[in-house]
Amino acid sequence: MNKKDQIKAIRGMNDVLPADSSMWLYVEDTCAKILALYGYRQIRTPIIESTQLFSRSIGDETDVVAKEMYTFEDRNGDSLSLRPEGTASCVRAGIENGLFYNQQQRLWYIGEMFRHERPQKGRYRQFNQIGAECYGWSTPDIEAELLSVIDQIFKELGLKKTHLQINSLGDVDTRKRYREALLDYLTQKQDQLDSDSVRRLSTNPLRILDSKNNDVQAVLKDAPSILDFLSESSANSFNQLKSYLDELGITYQINPRLVRGLDYYNDTVFEWVNEDFGAQSAVCGGGRYDSMVEQLGGVETPGFGFAMGLERLIQILYEQSASVIDSVEKEQLADVFIISVGEKARCQALLIQQILVANDVQVQLYCGTGSMKNQFKRADKSDASVALIIGEEEAESGTAGIKLLTAQNKQTSTQQTILQNDVLNAVTNLLESL
């Protein structure tokens, strides 16, 4: 086949190769363990949903819905979209399955999300998130709990230089009054804004606060702060959260310009931002969304949640943390390597592999044709500590050779002969003695 005809992965969509998958598993297991310790239960929702689910919850004017969704018509003519995030799906599933009736829920999820963004380091078109969503609490204690979950995860992973930023967007009335004040201020400075920000003046002025353009950021320096517009209850709630975080020793920065790219938030919003990661520095983001459940047809239920981007998190860990990589990469692929020559021996080797694996011993079997010498070479290259050898003679007599492969024992270790019936005992004793 011509090289240019070779089929490639879609731009912005990555393979995770075996060299990296142990790191992924390590991060996923760490998150799952900590979430379970805090009493969160996993929910799994489909990757494809009705387009309306996202336009009604995330907001038509957001970049995610207006420009980035993978939307298509299915064979029935229904408009479907690949999920760009997990929160709306959790709410849909919760309403549909009655999870919000007289119940509180602590849920978590993991999975692929899709956004048609311009790919660059840390920004992909298919990416993975681990997220958690809590339903039924309007108080800031649940917010402190969830931020504590994230803090624990980052601590356990050894993530450094990643800081929490928080803000409050207040209630509907707060945002209405703030929007007017911000519009007043920015309209006077319209000539100093870029075209994107000018367009947002009429669609969603709060999103201008999030502009990456330095000139726009300079204009925003003297803009009014949303924190001066909070209602009494929003301000009280935000203050209470801050004092919980102080108690917990979780450091944070108050960033009154943190507005998030999705429209469903009220009151507390937050992001964990990495110092060294350039433009795509947000590792994790989330906040409170008290009206989404009702907006999607459910009973009024407050929501609070987060999602972290696994590609970004793992990339930062690789760049930062030699100790994490060491502990992950030392993972062994095999305790035992089985060498066998001849059909009868191969059949016995398969059976021994089955017995050992059923007893939690990792076994690599030499498959294919190969001389005893070549198989030994392969065994030496593997990370197994023990070799089992079944040649034609051993196969006939129901025995096997057993030999240590570890570097320090290689010279001194001689091959012993054991009965195949005793293999499990012999292997476990030998492995325990190392």
By the criterion CB under 6 A, which residues form the site for ligand HAM? 85-87, 115, 117, 122-124, 127, 129, 131, 133, 261-262, 282-287, 289, 305-309, 311-312
Of residues 16 and 198, the one with the C-beta less far from ligand HAM:
16
Of residues 145 and 311, the one with the C-beta less far from ligand HAM:
311
Classified as helix, coil or strand, 165 is strand
Q: Which residue is nearest to ligand HAM (CB)?
A: 309
Angstrom distance (rounded) from CA 314 to CA 20: 9
| Least distance to ligand HAM, CB of residue 284, Å | 5
| Least distance to ligand HAM, CB of residue 68, Å | 8
Of residues 90 and 220, the one with the C-beta less far from ligand HAM:
90
Classify strands 303-309 and 126-135 as parallel, antiparallel or unpaired: antiparallel
Angstrom distance (rounded) from CA 104 to CA 95: 13
Residue 28 corresponds to which tokens in the numbers above? 């996923």
Of residues 245 and 283, the one with the C-beta less far from ligand HAM:
283
Region at 147 (left for phi over 0; alpha for psi -120 to 50; beta for the rest): alpha
| Least distance to ligand HAM, CB of residue 190, Å | 28
Of residues 193 and 308, the one with the C-beta less far from ligand HAM:
308
Residue 253 corresponds to which tokens in the numbers above? 């920065």
Of residues 133 and 151, the one with the C-beta less far from ligand HAM:
133
Of residues 131 and 205, the one with the C-beta less far from ligand HAM:
131
Of residues 133 and 394, the one with the C-beta less far from ligand HAM:
133
Sign of the alpha-carbon dihedral angle for 378, 381, 383, 385: positive
| Least distance to ligand HAM, CB of residue 209, Å | 15
Residue 176 corresponds to which tokens in the numbers above? 């209405």
Which helix (H) or strand (E) is 253 found in, with range? strand 252-254
Angstrom distance (rounded) from CA 279 to CA 211: 11
DSSP 190: G
Angstrom distance (rounded) from CA 9 to CA 30: 29
| Least distance to ligand HAM, CB of residue 287, Å | 6
Question: What is the signed CA dihedral for 290, 291, 294, 297, rounded to 10 degrees?
Answer: -120
Contacts of 97 (CB under 8 A, 6+ apart): none
| Least distance to ligand HAM, CB of residue 128, Å | 8
| Least distance to ligand HAM, CB of residue 288, Å | 8
DSSP 417: E
| Least distance to ligand HAM, CB of residue 289, Å | 6
Q: What is the DSSP string of 75-142?
A: TTS-EEEE-S-SHHHHHHHHHHTTTTTT--EEEEEEEEEE-----BTTB-SEEEEEEEEEES--SHHH
